Amino acid sequence: MLKIEAIIRPGVLEDIKEGLAKFGIHGMTVSQVMGCGLQKGRTEVYRGTEYSINLLPKVKIEIIIADKHLDGVTDVVTKVARTGEIGDGKIFVSRMEDAIRIRTGEKGESAL
Amino acid sequence: MLKIEAIIRPGVLEDIKEGLAKFGIHGMTVSQVMGCGLQKGRTEVYRGTEYSINLLPKVKIEIIIADKHLDGVTDVVTKVARTGEIGDGKIFVSRMEDAIRIRTGEKGESAL
Amino acid sequence: MLKIEAIIRPGVLEDIKEGLAKFGIHGMTVSQVMGCGLQKGRTEVYRGTEYSINLLPKVKIEIIIADKHLDGVTDVVTKVARTGEIGDGKIFVSRMEDAIRIRTGEKGESAL
Amino acid sequence: MIKRFTMLLLLLVLGALFPGSALADDGPTVESNAVAIDTVWVLICAYLVFLMHAGFSLVEAGFTRAKNTVNIMMKNLLTISLGMILFFVIGFALAFGGDANGFIGIKGFALSDIADLDFGIPTYGFWFFQAVFCATAATIVSGAVAERIKFIAYVLFTVVITAFIYPVVVHWVWNGDGWLAQKGFIDFAGSTVVHGVGGWSALVGAWLLGARIGKYGKNGEIRAIPGHNIALGTLGTLLLWLGWFGFNPGSTLSGTTADIALIATTTMLAASAGTVGAMIVTWMRHGKPDLALTLNGALGGLVGITAGCAAVSPIGAIVIGLISGIILPLSVAFFDRVLKIDDPVGAISVHGVCGLFGTLAVGLFAVDGGLFYGGGVAQLAVQATGVVAVLAWSLVLGFVAFKVIGLIVGLRVSPEEEMEGLDIGEHGMEAYGDFMLRSSGVPGLMGINREQVTI
Amino acid sequence: MIKRFTMLLLLLVLGALFPGSALADDGPTVESNAVAIDTVWVLICAYLVFLMHAGFSLVEAGFTRAKNTVNIMMKNLLTISLGMILFFVIGFALAFGGDANGFIGIKGFALSDIADLDFGIPTYGFWFFQAVFCATAATIVSGAVAERIKFIAYVLFTVVITAFIYPVVVHWVWNGDGWLAQKGFIDFAGSTVVHGVGGWSALVGAWLLGARIGKYGKNGEIRAIPGHNIALGTLGTLLLWLGWFGFNPGSTLSGTTADIALIATTTMLAASAGTVGAMIVTWMRHGKPDLALTLNGALGGLVGITAGCAAVSPIGAIVIGLISGIILPLSVAFFDRVLKIDDPVGAISVHGVCGLFGTLAVGLFAVDGGLFYGGGVAQLAVQATGVVAVLAWSLVLGFVAFKVIGLIVGLRVSPEEEMEGLDIGEHGMEAYGDFMLRSSGVPGLMGINREQVTI
Amino acid sequence: MIKRFTMLLLLLVLGALFPGSALADDGPTVESNAVAIDTVWVLICAYLVFLMHAGFSLVEAGFTRAKNTVNIMMKNLLTISLGMILFFVIGFALAFGGDANGFIGIKGFALSDIADLDFGIPTYGFWFFQAVFCATAATIVSGAVAERIKFIAYVLFTVVITAFIYPVVVHWVWNGDGWLAQKGFIDFAGSTVVHGVGGWSALVGAWLLGARIGKYGKNGEIRAIPGHNIALGTLGTLLLWLGWFGFNPGSTLSGTTADIALIATTTMLAASAGTVGAMIVTWMRHGKPDLALTLNGALGGLVGITAGCAAVSPIGAIVIGLISGIILPLSVAFFDRVLKIDDPVGAISVHGVCGLFGTLAVGLFAVDGGLFYGGGVAQLAVQATGVVAVLAWSLVLGFVAFKVIGLIVGLRVSPEEEMEGLDIGEHGMEAYGDFMLRSSGVPGLMGINREQVTI
Ligand SMILES: Nc1ncnc2c1ncn2[C@@H]1O[C@H](COP(=O)(O)OP(=O)(O)O)[C@@H](O)[C@H]1O
Ligand SMILES: Nc1ncnc2c1ncn2[C@@H]1O[C@H](COP(=O)(O)OP(=O)(O)O)[C@@H](O)[C@H]1O
Ligand SMILES: Nc1ncnc2c1ncn2[C@@H]1O[C@H](COP(=O)(O)OP(=O)(O)O)[C@@H](O)[C@H]1O
């Protein structure tokens, strides 16, 4: 079982959801994060004082999947989220030991 | 050392905290996320246009625990968070390599 | 490849970013979380009813790094975030299987 | 209620009740100027009372949760709209259209057939002022039943209160032939007529509906459900305060009396003293001055002075305001902790309790006839009669109305809807689409980070 | 420094357009009192109209996204400021400074050289009232072009509309010599003069700019872009409603006429009926009463009654308001779905469409001359002429102005800027620095959690 | 201060200073109508000034951080309440109760014993107007000391300024016997009396308190601490602007003078020009028009015209407003960067600096006596005297008051409290319970995503 964490630009989420539905993947957890990387921030002014903002809003998607879906999922995310410009984001993959569906108590891949 | 990530409905947090206190577990980190899964979204209307919202607000709890607490913690969470209806949420378990208490520099399980 | 998750007090972020730049680490993802641990909450009053708040605002930083940076990064975070008082926060370390840079498709450490 | 009859002629030519366009050729006279001043004054005061609806909306929204904001705004908007139309079609007639046994008016439906009635100013001006008052009484209920009442049930209650419950009380007190007016009951601008009716109806509503989910713990412990926008709540209170300068001084129905200056002054001082009084009480009780109750204290002072604003001295006003401000937090605690009636914005205490106190206070502080000024207890007795009569009327009528409405459409939304918020449930939309909110309402906890403790 | 109204003469001594300091010893007269009442009334009404700008700002901001709030506030602020100065320097002269062929005024630039003109009240008072009206017409456009127009382009259009497009129409209708005035066209407070000009200019602007990114899907599906602060939007609507009590009754330019009470009453009833009408329509269409359109319905009722507020009966006002409220959501749907013109706040429907209906309605409901009162179709024909003339003028002039401005500075911000928000792009700042916002604007999705479905 | 003496009798029957209820049988007269018009006008203007407190509250709250909103609202509420009561008990007497050496009043405490004084309108009306002015002066300080002053310290300073510092200056200028009045000092509505006193007291307060944590970096770099709700800040500014139409035209204390129309006009034009001026400056400096400073510019224009609103021509008003608007951002930069005095909302620049300029400008632009109108430098010299005297008085008294208060209760909250926010620290509650906020205040960074850079 793997966890895919994708840090992407806000706004491409719907397309990713659609893309994953092909593999029968519907479950995901989304949160709002701020990120910095190679992408440059922006400058704002307040009452005559300029300042730069270097953490930019990003969306983080977490999807727990069976190992076999790894390539499919990363492909979808990569394709949808890529604009080719700095700030497109990253995908991180890590291993999960177990999953439990609270409603039923099911464990393992059948809980996904 | 394990990380328990539980994605649950908002509002059962306090009971979980109480339940975990039995095991002497007090530390946890909570964040607000949006989730989708089997649960259906809802429909809203704005100025005559209907649209559906399919990411619903959830609460994510992260608890890093010693291995031995695994069953206890998942039991508590499952029991408290279960309503039996779709949308109850999931528990994910993964392995952590280390923990450090910033205040003291303690490492490993004693840092929890 | 490792993931460093640091749960710290709000407000020390800038210093951590500066500290990490020394190792050439610029990428990180930040989110706002609520935490409880040993730190006590505070009491508020609303319309004559007092109540205690025991989840306090924290900042969570996630940094994916090559293994070799582990000590350097945890040192920086520990040094900058430590006040010596309860509530300083924790650092958790876990293993990542892979990273992908969406923009280029690069994989592994070169994607960080 | 003061009415002056200075006009010699009433010309009902499409609203031209005094030398206006129709008579422009004749030029103005001293008398027509006086009526014009009165009309201008009453209209402007009515505008200020209208603004109170913005104030109510903001106070109610600010002191409840973000997930119910749309619903609260919709309720307030409906209260005004429906209230105006109903008061035009029915309410005004019951209140001011002649008299049957001192109990109720009998003509003037849709303002027809009242050419013989003279209100000192053009009838439309008089209607306008009374209409905005009517909607005020109705809107008081909205706050107390917030966050759980079905929208349709609220709408139906608004119909009943603006078309019947309130106009009848107005007839008793502000129509010269009303039985309380005949007794000499003094309620200049409506501590009892407006705020009593609203406050006691609110009490019935809040009681019948029951507390919001999570307000009281399994073991009866009292929990706080903090409001979501104290900035708007404060703005709302200041708008209400401003509106009161129309409410009280406008109730002279005349701008050509020096009373307007006195009344503005007593109103201002009572509000200020109420603010200070409530602040001191909360400061002493919790070690910190509490804004939510202090804002309520300002309103308490305003409600308290409303009955006697033209009858007491400025110093009397300060005392009345101060006592209202002190009573307020105690009353809130009483309803919240002893009776366990859940009133999210304190409407019952502000309008009902302070209105009751203010009405009685006229019997004590009236410069002319008050107990403290050597006037004996006669006035006080009359005041008590009025207070009790209106209280009984409002409780009984309110009870019957809410019960009947409950039978027809049901009073309360489902627990699921209440938890998700009435904005989605009743109106299908959110108030703050771009903002991240702390987790939406859940039993026992309004946020993910709250654990209430009884004190 | 004190000057009293004591004489029948108008002396132009630096603003003393009638009895000045030299005559103070003579004391007040009946005539000077009447002028004073008129002046006080007009000023206070003008203040209320000024407050409408706060209302517009809040409605526009509330019904658009958080990322464009600063820009909207800046636009509104500029509209007032620039509008005032331009109407002082140019606009007033074109509107009221004498006459050339019934089409345009020719003198009185910067209020100079008009000692011979008598407006019944001091010229400055008259100017003040007309100036706040002018800015109102301009600000209507702001809402329709929100979230995508370049700030500089908006500023330039404001210059054109306040200095030329609007004043010319005012001359036609409200200057006695204007060609529409001569025809007997009735638009008492500006359903067409103000709201028509604003609404149709808004239509041109919204159409030329095109829809906001994400408003319409690739396959033409219609998407909702919810506003970010319905609480402020509601407050704004209530402030507009209040302001209308200056807008309509103040247009008597006199406080010494009983018409002011009638007009306040018709205004109130039409707004109420508009609210109820729109609510019912949305309730029937979607199963739930919709706040956003109901608020628009209140405004629709107000715009609808503006032309005929002094000419119709209260019951006529209720009917006009109700119809306006019913038309409103249908018109919104028409522009949104059929024409696919993206009007974030419904300005075209509220001001253009309801203004058109309200102006025609005078021909139907005017107690004196309306078709339904046996007056035949003559008045209705005149009303139609006026409506068409102003519509054509506004569309053509608006089109030319926007096209020219587009050529000089460009009309629309870049897609990147639009997505990030105009607050950052145009002003370099955020409106809600301390709040966590749902993800900022992105094509096709305004939030991370929205998926619109056409119905 | 202008006083008119039209009444023959002063009947002190509970505030009935002119033919009111007591004399109703005699009917109105030309004179009683004139007094009634004046009274109505002054009261309504006073209501508008009262509304300015809502404006101040919103501006201050909007331009500071969410974590201090409750505290700011509480401060503003207290300023009004306490200010009213103190001005009733003490302040009014010092300002208007007779005279001792042109320096201070000596009777009329709690409005007793002043039956011999005639203010042209009922004394309560006059008191009411002056009282809301007094609270205005006090509330100016609140903004400059925001986000760090102890609540109790602020309360104590409010006592001192409303009971003593401000009333004395009023006596100098607006009581006919005051020494500055005697010299011919012109400050019609209080550029110096109100805004000067408030602004310079604010300067002392902000300077003694020191900057907010994080405002200046270790190496002296200047950092921005953005406000949290620019929508409310804008609304607040518009409410202040509206209130100014009571503030300036109401200072005639008479509605029977044509001056009210002139004054409304000069006030409007100056505000507009101030807005445009500030916008242009910020546009030129940063390449983008800045809303925060433009809003301040509107207020700067208003403060600037306040002294001369009745003495200058409309064109003069535009020039004064424009210069005020241009001065404003430069002054803000000067205090922020050169003096490093941290004034979160720009109160010192808006009220102190623009008030100073506006007062001097009377000596230049007064149509009657101004330097630019051939009047020589005499008036300018008198204006300078007044400005300097009030500046010195406010600085010295403010310094002593703050120092003494600091000794008794301490001026500043602890750094921990400041970082967590005064809402929790001083009042134990939050303003926005349902919203997710960006991380709460922390040294050097107001949010998790900010890194300020000096320019
Ligand atoms: N090493 C890292 N650890 C955690 N998050 C990272 C890391 N590198 C990048 N990110 C996240 O990915 C986002 C995009 O990174 P960026 O370098 O700007 O994009 P890219 O290199 O793909 O153009 C960042 O805003 C940040 O949230
Ligand atoms: N595969 C997954 N990966 C990540 N998060 C998931 C996954 N499946 C479910 N979730 C999270 O769990 C929540 C509950 O899932 P849902 O399927 O609706 O509940 P259940 O199946 O337990 O009734 C979702 O809203 C989502 O946040
Ligand atoms: N076992 C845990 N699992 C997850 N998060 C934890 C755990 N223990 C602590 N935390 C996080 O770390 C934060 C600081 O912990 P706390 O015990 O208050 O600090 P310390 O012990 O370092 O003084 C908490 O607020 C919480 O967010």
Chains in contact with chain A (at least 3 beta-carbon pairs closer than 8 A): B, C, E, F
Q: How much is the mean pLDDT over chain D?
A: 91
Q: Please tell me which of the candidates C47, C48, C50 has its beta carbon nearest to residue D453.
A: C50
Checking if the pLDDT of F245 tops 70, the result is yes
Q: Would you state the structure tokens that stand for residue F288, as one six-digit string?
A: 């983008």
pLDDT above 60 for F122: yes
Å from CA of A25 to ligand 1 middle: 25
| Ligand 3 contact, C7 CB (< 6 A) | yes
From E313's Cα to the closest Cα of chain D, the distance in A is: 7
Residue with tokens 């030129």: F284
Token pair of F80, please? 């009004």
Q: Is residue E5 included in any domain, yes or no?
A: no
| B28, B65, B77, B101, best to mutate for ligand 3 pocket (most atoms within 8 Å of CB) | B28
Chain C residues closer than 8 Å to D282 by CB = 48
Cα torsion angle, E252, E254, E255, E258, sign:
negative
DSSP letter string, C32-44: EEEEESSS--EEE
| pLDDT over 50 at D454, yes or no | no
Q: Within an 8 Å CB–CB cutoff, is residue A33 touching chain C?
A: yes
Residue to mutate among D219, D416, D437, D445, with most B CBs inside 10 A, is: D445
Would you mind telling me the total number of residues written for chain A in this entry?
A: 112
The arithmetic mean of pLDDT across residues C35-43, rounded, is 81
Confidence band, pLDDT 50/70/90 cuts, at residue E439: low
Looking at residue D444, its pLDDT comes to 30
CA dihedral for E404, E407, E409, E413, sign (positive or negative): positive
CA angle, residues D98, D100, D104, in degrees to nearest 5: 80
Residue C21: CATH number of its domain: 3.30.70.120
Q: Rounded to whole angstroms, what are the CA distances from F52 to F45, F135, F236, F242?
A: 11, 10, 8, 8
Q: Does E1 score more than 60 pLDDT?
A: no
End-to-end CA distance of chain F: 46
**Looking at the predicted structure, is the pLDDT value of residue E236 above 80?**
yes
Instruction: With CB atoms and an 8 Å threshold, state whether D424 touches B42.
Output: yes
C92 CB within 8 Å of a chain B CB: yes
Q: What is the pLDDT of residue B44?
A: 87
Lowest mean pLDDT among C2-16, D53-67, E317-331: C2-16
pLDDT digits (tens, 9 = 90+) for D328-338: 999 999 999 99
* Residue D214 near residue D445 (C-beta atoms within 8 A): yes
Three-state SS annotation for chain A: CEEEEEEECCCCHHHHHHHHHCCCCCCEEEEEEEEECCCCCEEEEECCEEEEECCEEEEEEEEEECHHHHHHHHHHHHHHHCCCCCCCEEEEEEECCEEEECCCCCEHHHHC
pLDDT given at position C12: 83
The interface predicted TM-score (ipTM) is: 0.94
Q: Which residues pair with A52 in a beta bridge?
A: A43, F451
Q: What does the angle CA A6 – CA A8 – CA A12 come to, to the nearest 5 degrees?
A: 115
* More confident site: E394 or B86: E394
Structural domain that includes position A35: 2-111
Could you read off the pLDDT of A55-108 as tens digits, one per residue?
888 899 999 999 999 999 999 999 999 999 998 999 999 999 999 999 999 999
Cα angle value C26/C31/C37 (rounded, 5°): 115
**Owner of token pair 């016997």:** F177
| C31 strand-pairing partners | C60
Measure in Å the smallest separation between the Cα of D301 and chain F Cα atoms: 11
Q: Which two tokens stand for residue F131?
A: 């009282």
> How far B58 CA sits from the closest chain D CA (Å)?
8
In a domain, D21, yes or no: no
Residue with the two structure tokens 């009345």: D320
> pLDDT tens, E16-70?
333 333 334 478 999 999 999 999 999 999 999 999 999 999 999 999 999 999 9
Q: What pLDDT, on a 0 to 100 scale, did the predictor assign at position B10?
A: 82
What is the arithmetic mean of pLDDT over B51-75?
Answer: 91
**Residue of F222, F286, F453 with shortest CB distance to A52:** F453
Q: Which of B92, B96, B107, A96 is nearest to C95 (CA)?
A: B96
Q: Which residues line ligand 2 (CB under 6 A)?
A: A 27-29, 62-64, 101-103, 112; B 7, 35-39, 56, 58, 86-90
Give the pLDDT confidence score for residue F452 in this predicted structure: 43
Tell me phi and psi for residue F174, to 5 degrees.
-105, -10
Structure tokens at C76: 């920086």
Whole-angstrom distance, CA of residue D298 vs CA of residue D279 = 9
State how far residue A11 is from chain F, nearest Cα, in angstroms.
21
- Ligand 3 atom with least separation from CA of C33: 27
SS3 at position E421 = coil
Q: Which residue's entry shows tokens 């749309």?
A: D70
Position D2 pLDDT exceeds 80: no
Of the bound ligands, which one is closest to the alpha carbon of residue C92? 3
User: Could you tell me if residue D48 is inside a domain?
Assistant: yes
Atom of ligand 2 nearest to the CA of A103: 22
- Which residues of chain F from 430 to 449 reach within 8 Å of chain A, CB to CB? 448-449
Q: Which of B13, B42, B44 sits opposite D448 (nearest CB)?
A: B13
pLDDT digit string (tens) for C50-84? 888 888 888 999 999 999 999 999 999 999 999 99
Q: Which residue has the tokens 């809802």?
A: B42
- pLDDT tens readout for residues E275-298: 999 999 999 999 999 999 999 999
Quote the tokens at residue E129.
């009232």
- Coil, helix or strand at residue F438: coil
In CATH, what number is assigned to the domain containing residue E353? 1.10.3430.10
Cα–Cα distance, F281 to F299 (Å, whole number):
15
Structural domains in chain E (count): 1
| Least confident among C92-101, E428-437, F311-320, F406-415 | E428-437
Q: Which domain holds residue E67?
A: 34-427
Q: Under a CB-based contact definition with an 8 Å cutoff, are residues D72 and D148 in contact?
A: no
pLDDT (average), residues F87-94:
97
Residue C40 contacts B where some CB pair is shorter than 8 Å: no
Is the Cβ–Cβ distance between F158 and F82 less than 8 Å? yes
The DSSP string of D387-419 is: HHHHHHHHHHHHHHHHHHHHHHH-SB--HHHHH
How buried is A26 (Cβ within 10 angstroms: 0-12 exposed, 13-18 middle, 19+ buried)?
middle
Number of separate domains in chain A: 1
With a cut of 50, say whether residue F21 has pLDDT above it.
no
Give the model's pLDDT for residue F439. 62
Record the tokens describing residue E421, joined without a space.
């928000």
β-pair type (C28-36, C98-101): unpaired
- Chain mean pLDDT for chain F: 91
Give dist(CA D274, CA D319) in Å, integer.
Answer: 9
Confidence band, pLDDT 50/70/90 cuts, at residue E8: very low
Identify whether the C-beta of residue F332 lies closer than 8 Å to the C-beta of residue F383. no
D445 Cβ contact partners less than 8 Å away, ≥ 6 residues apart: B11, B13, B14, D214, D451
**Band of residue F183 on the pLDDT scale cut at 50, 70, 90:** very high
Whole-angstrom Cα distance, residue D36 to residue D21? 12
Residue D38 lies in a domain: yes
Binned at pLDDT 50, 70 and 90, residue F450 comes out as very low
Nearest to D40 among E41, E290, E295 (CB): E41
